[in-house]
Amino acid sequence: MAILRASEVTEFSDVELQEQLAKLRLELLENNGKISAGGAPENAGRIREIRRAIARIGTEQNKRRNA
């Protein structure tokens, strides 16, 4: 999955935002599980990308709720 930019996130529907959020949270959970088990992640920078994408989606959901 590529980096999600804020302009891309705004184009998603509410259902698509929920689906993307679920996928990203699962991927983050898997990566954190590898780290906690004593392993090294395949791409350490990916964890940062995932966290930021989750934040972008959350920000967009809040905007839509308050608008």
* Nearest residue to 32 via CA among 14, 18, 20, 50: 50
Domains held by the chain: number: 1
Q: Which domain holds residue 12?
A: 6-66
What CA–CA distance (Å, rounded) separates 4 from 60?
12
The string of pLDDT tens digits covering residues 5-64 is 999 999 999 999 999 999 999 999 999 999 999 888 888 899 999 999 999 999 999 999
Q: The pTM is what?
A: 0.90
Tell me the C-alpha distance between 14 and 46, whole Å: 24
Q: Is residue 1 part of a domain?
A: no
CATH number, domain of 62, equals 1.10.287.310
48 assigned to some structural domain: yes
31 within some domain: yes
The answer to whether position 40 is within a domain reads yes
